[in-house]
Every structure is written in structure tokens, then in C-alpha cells.
Structure 1
Amino acid sequence: MQAVLDFIYTSSVNLNVQNMQDILFAANHLQILSVVKFCCEFLQSEISTQNCADISKIAKFFNLTEVEDCVRAFILSHFTQFVKTDEFLRLSETDICALLESNDICGHSELELFEAANRWLAHDQSRLAMVFRIMQHIRFPLISPEDLDEKVQTVHFMQNDPECMKLLLEATKYHMLPHKKPLMQSPSFQVRSVMPCLVAIGGKESTNHVSREVQLFNKEANLWLHLGEMDLPAYCHCVAVLNDFLFVVGGQEMFDNNGSTAMSNVYRYDPRFNRWKKMSNMLETRTDFHVSAIDGYLYAIAGRNHTGPLSSAERYRVDRDKWEPVVDLPHSVCAHSGAPCGGKMYIAGGFASDGFQREVYCYHPKEDKWEPKPRLKTERGLHCMVDFEDKLYCIGGNNKTNGARRDVLTTEMFNIKTEQWTEVAPLFAGQSEAGAAVVGGKIYVVGGHTWRERKDVRTVACYDPNRDVWEKATDFPEPLTSVSCCALRIPGTLLAELPPQQPRRLNNSNENMQQDEDVDMS
């Protein structure tokens, strides 16, 4: 009490581990908020793996929410060290549940979280009464079938507790139905990740080398990381994400500007186990086309192959791993863009027999029909389109003026409620054949080709819809076109292991190589 009274006259207080609780109690009682604030800052500065449980109890007693949040954040980011200490065993049921349900937990696989929870339960036999309340926060489907069999179901309460047995049954069913995994919605199936990452898949380098690499952008470190490789290289392909399962569809595995080597391949990537799975092929080979994910289906629209531009469309039944035809697009087109929005799919622009297009169509999945919509203000092809908050953004691409190819810099925004196109801030440089995705409320456009300078680019442009501003976010490791991008949640355990992406060595004579007809649009 004396230290708090002295503070009133001197505006200073000496805090240490021995006197802090007494001073905090007095300051809280007298409502001397400035001293309470000093105590909070002191507690936060003293947090370690050896005392965080005690500090958490102090924070709860005095209702110091900011300190509680700080302790939780510290434990989550130091969980690997913390779980080995006696402090971990002293956590309350509320604290252990809050940790185990968090997406922020770092450095531990789901099996390791199960083992840590089991250790906490075994520390005090009275805790076995709360076994289900603890175990319901373990995401058992994210544990491999082998580990479930050998390391989980052998634990006595997983065999004897009826509610825990249901958790095991759910995980077993999940692994028994591999095709249906993207349709399963339980929280226990979700990737432990705070927010999606920008992921770039495949693409074609300036040397005409077609990439099989999957690269991920770590925004905090401003660094591209190597996530892995596809079974086959691909460019002019499409990607779609269903509940954090990534589908890579069609495209070409070797350079060919006529589309004659178009593929029908479909692969699915599961970041939970960092594995690829071959799925059923499309009914037709396609390149320079579009794929959208809507209500548990994938829709593949138009494009081109050895026969020329296509109007055909098909959908993939995820639960049956089967493609089936749907109604054709009203006209044949390739190098168009598309996006799902409001439960429907929109297709815009592209290239057809009569040149670059302004046409826009909306597909109604329930009625299996196409409806024309207001046309783009500017014809374009090889552009990007993404959806954000019930609006479509049509970005970049190119067209022909007086027989010469030119960049389209204008960005057009379509409001699906008013059905009007509006020009917003233009790109600061040309990006045709780029990839695009919405991550964290911003639109990223990756790589592509600029016709003004006649070269492929490494630029990653970022558009903020709230400020209507384009900025350069970073550079890609190498110039790349016909890359596909998406937003994908990556487990923290996998993210921590990824090596930086190393740029490929390009021949200088090829780096600025003219790409007059990557897609034959003469």
C-alpha cells in the first residue's frame, strides 16, 4: 500500500517479483489505473515457460485480459518448450481447452497434441472425469490411420469412454471415404492455421520450361517458400479450393502455343498430410479454360484443345469422383476468366473466332443454364477475375488494337446486386497470363507478361478494395506466366519446415524473350 501512496506523490514505483502482487492488489483496490498498467507491463515482460501458469492465474484473479492474452500467445508460440515443463501440468481445464482448440498453436502435430493432452490428464487421476471435454479439442481426423491404430486407440480411455470412442469413429470414417473428405464440414477436419496463404502452382518460365513447383508466400517474412511439387508440370491450368483441399485441373505439361497438348488430368492436394492424390480425369482435355468450385462441385468451362476453342462444360462430383457434362457455354471461347459469386459462376471476356471478347455470362447451377450479363467495358483475354464481397474484379490481360497486342491496365468491378460494371484503379503495369487470388481481404496478381516491354515479369501486385489502390507487394522468385494461384490454409507444423524458394538460373538472352503468341490469337 505504501508503494502506491508514494506513487501518488512521486509518480514512480519500484516493481519486482517479490512486491508486484501486493502493489497490484493495492492499486486495483484504490483504482490507481496507471499503477495497474505498470504491473501489467511488468507481468508481460516476465513471462517465461517456467512461470506462465502463475502469471495466468494472477491475470485471471485481477481480470487483466491483456495479460491473459499475452500469456496465451506466449504459450502458443513456445508450445514445444512449454509442454515439457511442470507448468504445463498445472494448467487449468479452461486453459488446456483454450490451447487445444486454437489454430495458433505452433510446432506440434495433432498426434503430439493428443500425447500432450494425455500427459496432462495422467498427472492427476481426478482429471479423467473430464477426458471427453479435453479430447473433443483434438482433431483426430488429422492423425494418420496408422497412428490412430497404433498410438491413439490403444490408450485406455479411447477404448472405454463412449464419447471418445465416437471421436475415433468419426476419424475412421473420415479416412475410409477419401473422395468425400472435401465435403466434410466438422471443425475436427479443419487445418490448424490462422489464415490462408497465397499459393502459386505451376506456370511457364521465360525459357519455356514448364514448372511443377508449388510455392507459398510467407507475408510476415516477405519470402516465397517451396511447398512441394506436382506429379506433372502444368501451365494454362486451373485450380480450385474446397474446404482447404486444392484441386489442380487440366492445362499443358509442355510448351505448345496451339493447345494441342491439352490435358484432362485432375490432382488433389491435402495440406493436412502434405499429399497429392490422382482423381478422375475430365471428360475433355482443356487448356486456357476456367474452373470454379460451387456447392461441393467443380465446374470446368470451355477453353481449347487439339480441336480448337471449346464451348463444352462439365462438372465434377466430388463425392463420386466423377465428371459429367452440363449445358454448353453459348459460344466457344478460350483464355477467358471466371469466378464463383453468390452461388453462381461468372465467365468474362476471352478469345473467340471473331477476336477478343467483352461478353459476360452467368451460370445457374440449379437450373443448369447460362444467362447473359452486361458486357465488359473493354475486350480482353488472358486476364484474371476474382470475387470479393459480392463483387467481381476483372484484372489485366491484353487485346489487339490496330493489329498489335497491347496490355489492358483497366480494372473493372462488377456489382452482382446492381449488375453494373465500374472502372476502379488500374494496374500500374501490364500483367497478362497472371495468377490471382484473394488473401486477407486483398487481391494478389502474380507474374504474367507485359506486352509494352515484351517480357515476362516477376511482379506480385496487390489491390486493396477498401482503399482502391494497387501496390507492389513483392517479387516472384523468377519471371512466370500462366501460373495459377489460390488462398490455402497450411498447417503451422508444415509451414515451419518449408525451405525458401530458390530462383532458377535463367539464360539472360531468354529472360526478356519476346512472347508474341504464347496463346495463338492471331
Structure 2
Amino acid sequence: MSDGARAAWSKRGCGDLHRREPGKHKHRKCERPLSLQPSKPVLVHPGSKRCVMSGADVEVYLSQVHDGSVSSGFRALYEERLLLDVTLLIEEHHFQAHKALLATQSDYFRVMFTADMRERDQDKIHMKGLTAAGFGHILRFMYYGSLELSMPTVQEILQAAMYVQLTEVVEFCCSFLLAKICLENCAEVMRLLEDFSVGVEGVQEQLDNFLVENFVPLMGRPDFLSYLSLERLQAYLNSDALSRYPEIELYEAVQTWLRHDRRRWRHTDTIVQSIRFCLMTPANIFEKVKTSEFYRYSRQLRQEVDLALSYFHDVNQQPLVETRSNRIRSVRPQTAVFRGMIGHSMVNSKILLLQRPKVWWELEGPQVPLRPDCLAIVNNFAFLLGGEELGPDGEFHASSKVYRYDPRQNSWLRMADMSVPRSEFAVGVIGKFIYAVAGRTRDETFYSTERYDITEDRWEFVDPYPVNKYGHEGTVLSGKLYITGGITSSSTSKQVCVFDPGREAGGGGGGSSGGSDAHRTRAGRGSLLPGTHTSCWENKSKMNYARCFHKMISHNGKLYVFGGVCVILRASFESQGCPSTEVYDPETDEWTILASMPIGRSGHGVAVLDRQIMVLGGLCYNGHYSDSILTFDPDENKWKEDEYPRMPCKLDGLQVCSLHFPEYVLEHVRRCS
């Protein structure tokens, strides 16, 4: 130790202690217990944090500025050109740096300077495969933590960052490119990211989203047509996300891609199989597909067109056809509401859609043709059945009408009427049949059951329901139609009855014909189908509560029942609300009571959305119609309110379902006030 240092050490009171001989230390006796001694104030630096270790009289201080001081220290050494111990030679440029800093910033340099590599002990290292301009930005980032990016420089910087494995700079470059991407540079950006095999999470997804959103305009740019390979084009055409443009525009874009290079014509048979011709219109086929040069050139294209024309011709069969060519392009379903009643007035209006982000829209186009009592979904086609309609006398009467809605074209089609008018009945879809069970008119209640053959567009009677009933609810589960509750001749019912079509002899039969047969089947037991010897109906365990005008839905292999009304048919026609919720397990044939709705209601709609069950609108027990939406979580057995915005109007008797719509149809919506 130098004399100056020793003198300084002595002045601090430590020098004498250091020179004392062993055994000469003086120990001062404590005059009071340690706990009673006054504690001295501890001065803690503002930039530090004290951590007391339990079980020992040791205190650890954590610096809050240490990382910054290390970085600033390296920057100061770099700027003053001190302790630089390596020179990197790139394109005749010399970059001096500190090995320690390079190793902490880059895995590439860490391995170079710590593993058994020849560069570990070299002062000068030649680097190839990157540019001096690009590495200059990288070196500055490693010392200063800032990066300047522009379209002229981003390629060289990305190349250098990938070379030295500087992940953060790679992510910055990707974010910059995605923020700057447009129609003019899309091909350049895609080629750049592909050339360097950038594997940053989320980059390819954002790139695909941009391309899908702008697919048709991009296909009009020669640079993009040159870049787009057959494999990529097929991948995009096979995606359901490509739903913003009508199918005929996608076909015309494919034609442009083929015409861009005559050598691509040999891929025509392959690429046309990714076009969904059944989503076009017959006019599109005749005017724009059959007139193109590729129709004469490609045998596969002619076959696809023939299949589409056959699909258009066989209108009744369309809901049962499940092929790639007619599958709608849609990623997620929309909650669709077919309006019912406002008070006692019929609402003959357009379809309401609850779209993300939780906003109500009204779909432009044709109006809902009637106030339906029942809704049936068959492969994304919606059938509206029966209900009430305004008669010539100005009064509401039960209706036998059936309409089919096609979201592909946003169009309605009148189908064959039911054999008898029905209101307050129940329906269910099993196979190619839609079953309509019981119901009533203004004058009578009946228990007849009939089914609609979708392929034949024809109704026929089947085994009738055991009793006269209306106001009941029906849902299909595991190929069987469950009927719950309703009003019989005596009172509101707890009854649960299941229809099993597998018990029909011969699997079906003819229907009743003639007015007398129809009347007998609707008002009395009637005759069964020819060859039917056993009833298709079977009683199951009753619900815990009698109810009518409730709603039932199947979810995860169980039946959920919500709300309704308990009616006692006496002279005064007393009624009482039933806000309870029940679930039925077909495996055990048992009903379990769940949490009741916060506000009981009847005539409401139900739908499943995001693993929750939505209850919409209806008539509340305080006598007011509702526009609110309740959500029920089956896993937690809890109700929530205000998860979704209120409906634009207060509705009763509404029908709700989930349907897939193509984006080009959803563009024709008007936001509801």
C-alpha cells in the first residue's frame, strides 16, 4: 500500500486498528439491552433498494441505475476509443468494438468469443455475407440502443441483424415493414421477409391479413403477379378468410394470374379446383366463366361449371349439399336476429346482426317475410316456419308459410307451406327432415306432427304428439327431438317427451292427403304412417318446474332450459313468471336446477356465443318488453349482464341463431342507433 493511500486509510480511523497486535483489542460492555439502544438512522441512496435477508444481520442493496451505468460506461469507452479489443473488417471498413459488449448483445458474438473458435483470440476478424452500411447501424444499436430505419436501408439492416442473431433488431425491422406495407411495395416486402426466412411470431399472420384484405387489387399489379407462386395462390384461395370479395371476382383474379405468364396455363386444372363456383350466380357462370378462353382450354373448369349449374338447378337439395365448392367463405359466425313483435304489433323488418366489436347492425336487402314462431338451421340455411301473419280482416292469424334464407346471396325463397297453419309450436331438424310438432290456431289446439322433406319440398304427417299442446319448446340432441313444457288442456306442463325417428317403421312413409285427413290429424289422434306399429314418442323425466313460452338449447351434449311462464288455466287465466334455469343430462335422464335469471322473461331468444349462452329480449315479468342481453356461463353456473350492448329495439318472440355470412354481404349493413 502506498504512503498516500495508507495515510488516507489512517485518517478514516482504520489504520490504528489495522496495526494493533492480536489480543490487544478492547471490548466495550453494553450498558443496556440491544433492543433498547437507540437505532442510528440509515441513509439510503435514492437509486438503491434495500433488501433485508431473514435469519441474519445482513442487508443487501440493489442498485436501480446499475444497468444504465454499465451501458453508459461502455458508450463512454467507445466514444473515447478506450480498451477497444477487436476490429471487425467488413467491405474494407474497420469497426472497432469491445468483445465483452458484443458478446452480451449478440448470441453470434458470444459463441465466437467464448467457444473453441479461432476468432476467439484474434484481434482482427473478417466478416462476409453482410454490408458495412447495415452492420454500422447494428453496431450503433448495440452501444446506444437506438435504430434509424427507412425503406432504402431496412434490407441491409435486416440482413445484418439476421447474420449476428440480434433478435430485437429483427423484430424492429419487421414492425417497420408491416407498418409501411401498401399495394405498391407489398411484393417487395413479402420477398424480403421470405428471402431472410424471418420467423418472428405474428409477422406471417399480419402479412397474410393484408394480402387477404387487398387480394383483388394486388392481383392487378404486375410486380405482385410475378412474385405470387402457384402454391401461395392456392393457399389463399383455399382459405375461408378470403371472404371480402365475391367469388366471381376471385375467379377473374385467377384469370389475370394465368394470363400474366403463358407458361402458367398448364396449372389451370389445378387452380380452378380452389374456386367455389357454387357461391357465384348463374349469370356469373354464363356471362364471365363460360365465355373465357380458359373454359375451352380446361376440362376441369368445364366439370366445375357443370357441377355448379346442377347445384343451381336443384334448389331444394342445396341445404343438404356439403362440398368444398358451396362452402361459404367465413371465419366466424354472426349472431343473427329475425325480429318478432314489438308489443302486439308485427315487425316486418330486416335482419339484425351482432358483430364484433359488439355493435348492432341492420342488414340491408330484403325484409324478413313474416313474424315466425320457429326457426330451423340446416347447413347455414335458415328456415322460418309458421307463426302469425296479418289477415285480410286486419287480425293476426296462424300461418302455414315457410321461407328459406340463404346468407350467401342474402336472399329469401318461399318453400312449400305446412299442411296446417301453426303458431306457438316447436320444430327440430333431423337428417333431411324438419319436424313441426303440435301448436294451435285461434280456434283450436292440436297435437299433429308433420315433417318437411327438404329434398322433395313436401310435407307429410308422422306419429302425432301424445297430447294437445302449444307454447312448448323443441331441440334436437343426438338425433332425437326433445319437447319440453307447454300448455295442455288442463295446465302448464312439466312433461318431457322425445321423438326418435329410428323407431319409425320403414324409416318414413307417405303423408295424409285431402281436407278430412288433414283435419283429423291436426285435431285428433289421426292415423300413423303406413306400416307404423309403435309410437316414436317416449316420456322422459319431468322438469322441476312447469313452464311454457320458454327457450331450450343444446350445448355440450346437454339441454338447457331458460325462463318461461307458468300459467294456470282457470276462469281468471292467472299467470306466474318462471325465471329458473334447468339442465338435462340424457345419460342419466335427470334435470338439475341452475342459477336463475336475474330478470325472468318469456318469448326471448337464445344462442351460443364464445362458450356462453345468450338470452336476448323477451317479455319481462314486470310487463315490460326488454332490449337487454343476459349471458350464462354453464361452466361457472353464473349469469352476467351488460356483456353485450342492448338491442336497438325491445322485442318479443324473436328468433336467434348463429350464421356465417361472407364479408361482401356484411359490407351492406347499417349501424343501428
TM value normalised by structure 1: 0.89
Q: Could you tell me whether the CA contact under 8 Å between 2:212 and 2:236 is conserved in 1?
A: yes
Work out the percentage of aligned pairs sharing the same amino acid.
Answer: 31
Q: Deviations over 1:319-371 (max 9, x none)?
A: 11111112112222211112111222211111111211111122212224122
Q: Could you tell me whether the CA contact under 8 Å between 1:304 and 1:334 is conserved in 2?
A: yes
CA distance in structure 1 between the aligned counterparts of 2:473 and 2:361, rounded to whole angstroms: 26
Q: Could you tell me whether the CA contact under 8 Å between 1:200 and 1:215 is conserved in 2?
A: yes
CA distance in structure 1 between the aligned counterparts of 2:501 and 2:194, rounded to whole angstroms: 52
**Secondary structure of the corresponding residue to residue 287 of structure 1:** coil
| Aligned pair partner of 1:132 in 234, 259, 269 | 269
Gaps of 5+ in 1: 503-522
Query: How do residues 81-480 of structure 1 correspond to structure 2 at under 5 angstroms?
Result: 81-90=217-226, 91-220=228-357, 222-230=359-367, 232-235=369-372, 237-254=373-390, 261-368=397-504, 369-400=536-567, 404-451=574-621, 453-470=622-639, 471-472=641-642, 473-480=644-651
What's the offset of the Cα at 1:291? 1.3
CA distance in structure 2 between the aligned counterparts of 1:487 and 1:431, rounded to whole angstroms: 21
Amino acid at match of 1:318: I
**Secondary structure of the corresponding residue to residue 18 of structure 1:** coil
What's the offset of the Cα at 1:234? 1.4
Amino acid at match of 1:457: S
Q: Could you tell me whether the CA contact under 8 Å between 2:319 and 2:380 is conserved in 1?
A: yes
CA distance in structure 1 between the aligned counterparts of 2:576 and 2:248, rounded to whole angstroms: 54
Q: Could you tell me whether the CA contact under 8 Å between 1:43 and 1:67 is conserved in 2?
A: no
Range with greater deviation from structure 2 (223-232 or 469-478): 223-232
| Aligned pair partner of 2:176 in 42, 51, 61 | 42
Q: Could you tell me whether the CA contact under 8 Å between 1:78 and 1:106 is conserved in 2?
A: no
Q: Quick one: structure 1 residues 54 and 300, their matched pair in 2 at CA, closer, same or farther if it must change by over 3 Å? A: same
Q: Does 1:488 align with 2:659?
A: yes
Q: Could you tell me whether the CA contact under 8 Å between 1:213 and 1:233 is conserved in 2?
A: no
Q: Deviations over 1:471-507 (max 9, x none)?
A: 33222222111111111112211110122346xxxxx
CA distance in structure 2 between the aligned counterparts of 1:35 and 1:77, rounded to whole angstroms: 28
Q: Quick one: structure 1 residues 333 and 255, their matched pair in 2 at CA, closer, same or farther if it must change by over 3 Å? A: farther
Structure 1 partner of 2:516:
none
**Secondary structure of the corresponding residue to residue 388 of structure 2:** coil
Query: How do residues 53-64 of structure 1 correspond to structure 2 at under 5 angstroms?
Result: 53-61=187-195, 62-64=197-199
TM value normalised by structure 2: 0.70
CA distance in structure 1 between the aligned counterparts of 2:177 and 2:594, rounded to whole angstroms: 48
Q: Quick one: structure 1 residues 143 and 454, their matched pair in 2 at CA, closer, same or farther if it must change by over 3 Å? A: same
CA distance in structure 2 between the aligned counterparts of 1:96 and 1:189, rounded to whole angstroms: 19
What's the offset of the Cα at 1:382? 0.6
Q: Quick one: structure 1 residues 429 and 24, their matched pair in 2 at CA, closer, same or farther if it must change by over 3 Å? A: same
CA distance in structure 2 between the aligned counterparts of 1:31 and 1:315, rounded to whole angstroms: 67
Q: Does 1:23 align with 2:157?
A: yes
What's the offset of the Cα at 1:413? 1.6
Q: Quick one: structure 1 residues 172 and 404, their matched pair in 2 at CA, closer, same or farther if it must change by over 3 Å? A: same
Q: Could you tell me whether the CA contact under 8 Å between 2:243 and 2:329 is conserved in 1?
A: no
What's the offset of the Cα at 1:286? 0.8
Structure 2 partner of 1:513:
none
CA distance in structure 2 between the aligned counterparts of 1:41 and 1:488, rounded to whole angstroms: 35
What's the offset of the Cα at 1:229? 4.2
**Secondary structure of the corresponding residue to residue 300 of structure 1:** strand
Structure 2 partner of 1:508:
none
Structure 2 partner of 1:68:
204
Amino acid at match of 2:542: R
CA distance in structure 2 between the aligned counterparts of 1:468 and 1:224, rounded to whole angstroms: 30
What's the offset of the Cα at 1:94? 2.4
**Secondary structure of the corresponding residue to residue 345 of structure 2:** coil
CA distance in structure 2 between the aligned counterparts of 1:327 and 1:56, rounded to whole angstroms: 63
Q: Deviations over 1:356-411 (max 9, x none)?
A: 11111222122241222221111111111111121211112121489742332222
Q: Could you tell me whether the CA contact under 8 Å between 1:27 and 1:36 is conserved in 2?
A: yes
Q: Could you tell me whether the CA contact under 8 Å between 2:342 and 2:650 is conserved in 1?
A: yes
What's the offset of the Cα at 1:33? 2.2
Structure 1 partner of 2:130:
none
What's the offset of the Cα at 1:423? 2.6
Q: Does 1:4 align with 2:138?
A: yes
Structure 2 partner of 1:500:
671
Amino acid at match of 1:477: P
Aligned length: 498
CA distance in structure 2 between the aligned counterparts of 1:347 and 1:29, rounded to whole angstroms: 68
Q: CA RMSD in A?
A: 2.4
CA distance in structure 2 between the aligned counterparts of 1:36 and 1:232, rounded to whole angstroms: 57
What's the offset of the Cα at 1:255? 9.3
Amino acid at match of 2:229: S
Structure 1 partner of 2:86:
none
CA distance in structure 2 between the aligned counterparts of 1:400 and 1:456, rounded to whole angstroms: 19
CA distance in structure 2 between the aligned counterparts of 1:70 and 1:253, rounded to whole angstroms: 49
Amino acid at match of 2:549: L
Q: Tell me which structure has the larger Cα radius of gyration.
A: 2
What's the offset of the Cα at 1:305? 1.8
Structure 1 partner of 2:58:
none
CA distance in structure 2 between the aligned counterparts of 1:289 and 1:442, rounded to whole angstroms: 26
**Secondary structure of the corresponding residue to residue 566 of structure 2:** strand
State the structure with bigger RCO (CA 8 A, min sep 6), 1 or 2: 1
Q: Could you tell me whether the CA contact under 8 Å between 1:56 and 1:68 is conserved in 2?
A: no
Q: Could you tell me whether the CA contact under 8 Å between 1:397 and 1:407 is conserved in 2?
A: yes
Q: Deviations over 1:13-62 (max 9, x none)?
A: 33332332333333333333222222222222222122222222333331
Amino acid at match of 1:128: W
Q: Quick one: structure 1 residues 498 and 424, their matched pair in 2 at CA, closer, same or farther if it must change by over 3 Å? A: same
Q: Could you tell me whether the CA contact under 8 Å between 1:218 and 1:225 is conserved in 2?
A: no
Amino acid at match of 1:411: T
**Secondary structure of the corresponding residue to residue 168 of structure 2:** helix
Amino acid at match of 2:315: P
Range with greater deviation from structure 2 (157-166 or 489-498): 157-166
